[in-house]
Amino acid sequence: MLDTLHVLQRCHPSYRNPDIIDMGSLNRLPENGSVFDRLRSVEEDILTRVGYSQGPQAAAGEEEFNDGTVTNMVSEGFVPDVTGNRTEVDEIRNQLEMMDELVLTMPSMRGTPINEHDPNTKYFIDAFPILYPDGRADYREPRAHAVNLEDYFRHLLRWDDGRFARHPRFRYFALNTIMRWQSKWLAKVYAKWNKGEGNLTVKDLRELLDGDLERIAGRISRGGINLRGTRPYWLARRRELIAMIKDRGCPHLFFTFSAADMQWPDLHRHMPRKVPPGATEQERVKLHNQNLNENPGIAAYWFQKRFDVFFKTVLAKKFDIKDHWYRYEWQHRGSSHIHGFVWIDGAPDVDLLDLENPDSVQEFIQFWDPLVSTMNPSKIEPKAAVHPSARDPATLRYDLQELAQLLNHVQRHTKCTSYCLRHQKGAPKDSEKVNNLAF
């Protein structure tokens, strides 16, 4: 640790102060151990201040107040023999002051917030000194040409040694910074006027502002329709989808694509850590899991490119798609998936399907029967020793046996757990749970 601090002191402009290293604090740290027991933590038990009217009566020589609180009593807690008007908390604080040299203290913090929009403030290199060991390449660094903030972070996250992409906080710092700066640049102020107020002049607005400010504030809002992930952004996307449905009619297909990111060899070929020859399946899974946790940007980028190619070369041609809408989502563990709708040229209108009319049903079946299949070539085909998605595509035979292995591995529901068991609607709470796939 001391060597790292000395490197920062020599190379980083923000750490060149000779007094920045507190040798006293460093000497308090253990050689190779935890510092948890040296962190100051004080909790006050409110029971020491609450009345004991329901407890034992005050003994002779003790003073009992009307509210039942007893003072001058011997402590029953973990600090022995606390007498007089001192509490256990007072005694703990006293003991901590006596052994202050063994208690780690936090450094002082400045009370003035950093102005992140100040062009003279280079707080990126100060916030992540290990990522910027020589104190250069801050976003505010003078350059021959201007650099967009998104391009700046994208370049760092793709840096060849991977230190920015693997850092557990930097990638979230990058996204948060982009969102906050975009909110300053892109958010707009909207005013809701009553009828007849559409032609207000600047003079009229100033007169209104000199009047009832609360009434004016209720008619002004700040919109962030262009800020990805915000509620206004998704409300705008929902309006777009509703407009498409009104224009195109009911979508013909709803699809979901998920990522076999733990299995894809073409994805993990681009990861920093490679599976060594002769590794076991357990070692491969562990290494792939580590790669995904440390490099979510690579996984998300690869999934996007893979889906784009599949959509254009397979789906769009097979189904003759004339329009589509989809969105990306991420599970809690970070795995990517997509939900979307497509409109197919020449497909029968779902809104016009009449289940009571055999001709309408037959028209529907004739169109979809060549495109959709629910066949499993063999329900008893055992799962393959290697996950089908983990195999090199060049080694696959693409026959019915491999299709059965894939279906039985990823699409066949064979065992119910608590995840798929539910109470039937309207059934008593103490009734037996059943498979929710049945209803």
CATH numbers and ranges of domains, the chain: 23-102 (no CATH), 188-223 (no CATH), 253-346 (3.30.70), 373-439 (no CATH)
Residue the block writes with tokens 């992540």: 128
Q: Which pLDDT score is estimated for 99?
A: 52
Q: Which pLDDT score is estimated for 59?
A: 43
61 SS3 class: coil
Are residues 142 and 124 in contact, defined by beta-carbon separation less than 8 angstroms?
no
Closest Cα to residue 26, out of 51, 52, 4, 49? 4
- What distances in angstroms separate CA 246 from CA 241, 242, 243, 251, 282, one per listed residue? 9, 6, 5, 10, 51
Are residues 165 and 159 in contact, defined by beta-carbon separation less than 8 angstroms?
yes
Element (H, E) at 332: none
Residues in a beta bridge with 221: 190
Are residues 133 and 11 in contact, defined by beta-carbon separation less than 8 angstroms?
yes
- What distances in angstroms separate CA 279 from CA 261, 364, 390, one per listed residue? 19, 51, 14
Q: Which pLDDT score is estimated for 220?
A: 59
Q: Which pLDDT score is estimated for 429?
A: 75
Name the E strands within 268-400: 321-330, 336-344
Residues of the chain with pLDDT under 70: 1, 37-89, 91-107, 187-200, 205, 208-209, 212-224, 332-334, 413-420, 435-439
The crossing angle, in degrees rounded to 10, of helices 281-294 and 296-310 is 100
434 SS3 class: strand
Q: Which pLDDT score is estimated for 334?
A: 66
Cα-based angle 37, 41, 47 (whole degrees, multiple of 5): 125
Q: Which pLDDT score is estimated for 267?
A: 93
Cα-based angle 238, 244, 245 (whole degrees, multiple of 5): 90
Chain-centre distance of CA 31, in angstroms?
A: 36
